Amino acid sequence: MDYRAQIGIRFITRRRGSLIAASLAVAIAILVVQVNSVIFQGLYDAIVRDQINYRFGHVYITRQEDYITKSDFMLVNWLERIPYVQAAAPRIDSAASINATIDGKIIRDYSVPVIGVDPVLDKEASTMYQTVGAGGQYVTYRDSVVLGAIVDRDLGFPQVGDNVKLKFKDQFGNDVLRRLTIVGITATAGSVGLDNSVIMNIDTLREILNRPHQTQSILVRLNDPTKDTDVKDLFLAAFPSSADKFKAQTIEESAEQTLSGFRSGIALINLVGYFGMMSSAFAVVTIQMMQVTSKTRDIGVMRAIGAKRKDVLLVFIFQGMVIGAIGAGLGTVMGVTYTAYAKETHMTFQGSLPLEVKYNWTSILQTDIMAFVLAVIASIYPAYKATRLEPVEAMRVG
């Protein structure tokens, strides 16, 4: 082993307090970045997951400025012939004011979003049906409705089998009142506001809105999500926008409005993490300066017996490498342990949104390398100060 590395390693490993303090500073900085990643990247991924599962699919097809008038049956069949497509399902979104009578008391009307789904196709293309809690079922029947948990609470907790009244406006502006039977209540919030929504049969909603055979959107679920752009392009090639005015979007495009805000938030949080890393670098500088002070006499002796200034520099750079390596190793263990904990405990955001926890080895490696490099960079100034010591002075004051 190079003698400068040997001395650097000995200097720091035989000062356990300094080594532990400096390594912990690096490790904690890595842990902060990892925790940020688990929570905020997990939250972001959970939102993407729910947007795909509940709202947009991997590819989301709409018609510019109007409803789709082509047969949804034909469009779904066409899409499902593409090998990458697992399933496709039509949807119509609307809004209605809702009330319920509980124990003879009418709970006041208020407006809710309504999602019209095809109960058969939707089960293949979306996992929204899985949000229905125990004892409930999906909107298989024409006059059935699934209430979001918050809607159910606001209506005084009507049960499965009770009725609710919804007042819609059809496409001509006429009020349409419908009594629907509750067949399920959502138990999972998801990240797309399902708790505040009402799910009903698409054919019933078409009839209410006076839009027979019309569809607002088609969500397409892929068996290979990386092929979303291919499917989008295939669809738009088959149905040129000039004729049909179709609009096809990948999840990044369809959920852009929701995701862009989160992306900015994550960038900000990551910045906080990297500031933490800078703080750890200052801690390394401080500890290394203390090391230089405590080793002044040794530096003087080394210089006296022939070590050059660059040799002294390398001793402390090697020290920084040891601190960086141990800190990075420790930080990785702590970060991975936290990630494993988050994964095993199915960590949720605000108790309702399960985070999408992944072991992001690329990110872990990047963070480790950055922490290691920062520890080395943080050692440069103390190492430089060590090189400026004159041997006689160093041996006298050391």
Partner 1 sequence: MADYVLEVKNIDKVYGQGETEVYALRNLSFSVKRGEFMLIVGSSGSGKSTLLNMIGLLDRPTRGKVIIDGVDTSELNDNELSTFRNTKLGFIFQFSNLLSDLTVLENVTLPRKIQGTVQNSADEAKTLLKTVGLETQMHKFGNQISGGQAQRVAITRALIAKPAVVLADEPTGNLDSVSAETTVQLLKSLNRKLYQTFIIVTHDRHQFGEVDKVVTIKDGRILKEEMEANLA
Residues forming contacts to partner 1 in the complex (CB under 8 A) are 3, 6-7, 10-11, 14, 297-298, 300-309, 311, 390-392, 395
| Angstrom distance (rounded) from CA 268 to CA 103 | 50
Side-chain half-sphere of 299: how many Cα atoms within 13 Å? 29
- Tell me the closest approach of the beta carbon of residue 320 to partner 1, in angstroms: 17
Q: Which letter does DSSP use for residue 358 in this model?
A: -
User: In this complex, which beta carbon is closest to partner 1, that of residue 66 or of residue 390?
Assistant: 390
CB-CB contact of 166 with 128 (8 Å)? no
Nearer CB in complex with partner 1: 238/397: 397
HEC letters along 314-330: HHHHHHHHHHHHHHHHH
How many angstroms from the chain centroid is the CA of residue 141? 35
Least separation, in Å, of the C-beta of 376 and partner 1? 21
Sign of the dihedral defined by the CA atoms of residues 130, 133, 144, 207, in that order = negative
Q: How far is the CB of 297 from partner 1 (least distance, A)?
A: 7
Distance CA 326, CA 323 (A): 5
Q: Are 52 and 251 in contact (CB under 8 A)?
A: yes
With both helix axes pointing from N to C terminus, report the angle between 256-294 and 361-387 in degrees, rounded to the nearest 10.
Answer: 30
Which is it for strands 105-117 and 198-201: parallel, antiparallel or unpaired?
parallel
Which one, 6 or 264, has the nearer CB to partner 1? 6
Query: Which CB sits closer to partner 1, 4 or 232?
Result: 4
Q: How far is the CB of 27 from partner 1 (least distance, A)?
A: 24
Determine the 3-state secondary structure of 22 from DSSP. Answer: helix
- What's the gap between Cα 3 and its chain centre? 47
Q: By C-beta, is 291 or 332 nearer to partner 1? A: 291
| Shortest separation between residue 380's beta carbon and partner 1, angstroms | 20
- Contact between 370 and 26 (Cβ < 8 Å): no
Q: Which is nearer to partner 1, 10 or 245 (CB)?
A: 10
Residue 157 or 384: the one with the smaller Cβ distance to partner 1 is 384
Q: How far is the CB of 224 from partner 1 (least distance, A)?
A: 58
Residue nearer to partner 1 on the CB measure, 14 or 105: 14
Kindly state the smallest distance separating residue 299's Cβ from partner 1, in Å. Answer: 10
Nearer to partner 1, 51 or 291 (CB): 291
> What is the number of H-type helices and E-type strands within the chain?
15, 11
Q: 18 and 287 in contact (C-beta within 8 Å)? A: yes
Q: Please, what is the minimum distance in Å from the beta carbon of residue 7 to partner 1?
A: 7
Of residues 176, 191, 184, the one with CA closest to residue 148: 184
116, 201 contact by CB (below 8 A): yes
Give least dist CB 17 to partner 1, A: 14
Q: What angle do CA 113, 130, 139 make, to 5 degrees?
A: 55
